[in-house]
Amino acid sequence: MENPRKLVHVSRIPIRWGDMDAYGHVNNTVFFRFMEQCRVEYLERLGYRVAPLDTAPVIINAACTFLAQLNYPGTVEVRMYFGAPGRSSIPSSYEIRLEGDDTLYATGDSKIVWMDVATGRSVPIPEALRAELEA
């Protein structure tokens, strides 16, 4: 059975000329930046700073499957989904498309863990975030 996931945020990010590599398409590392930007926008919109204070969300793994080349110019649409939260972690997944184009250019996954900045140990995700995801 497939794990349920919930669409939590959509980001629109312009492709920059400098995002392309010597092959003339968006470099693979930039796809991770697209996913990162989407994740940061969502968490900050909810009031969770990604700067290390007392506790902070960190990524413990990240993956991307490249399905088609992206090129300048254009605007990517990054859709971020969350799976069921655990005690201290949340699985996230991403779909990357061009705005106005249904083609799926890439998919990605990452695991977000809430961490105590001082100790480096995981802590329970904030209850308000859990409530938002379970709503």
6-134: which CATH architecture?
A: Roll (3.10)
The amino acid present at 9, given as its one-letter code, is: H
Domain limits, the chain: 6-134
What does the pLDDT look like over 13-59, one tens digit per residue?
Answer: 999 999 999 999 999 999 999 999 999 999 999 888 777 778 889 99
State phi, psi for 91 to the nearest 5 degrees: -75, 135
Strand 75-82, strand 55-66: pairing: unpaired
What does the pLDDT look like over 73-114, one tens digit per residue?
Answer: 999 999 999 999 999 999 999 999 999 999 999 999 999 999
Q: How many CA atoms lie within 13 A of 18 on its CB side?
A: 0
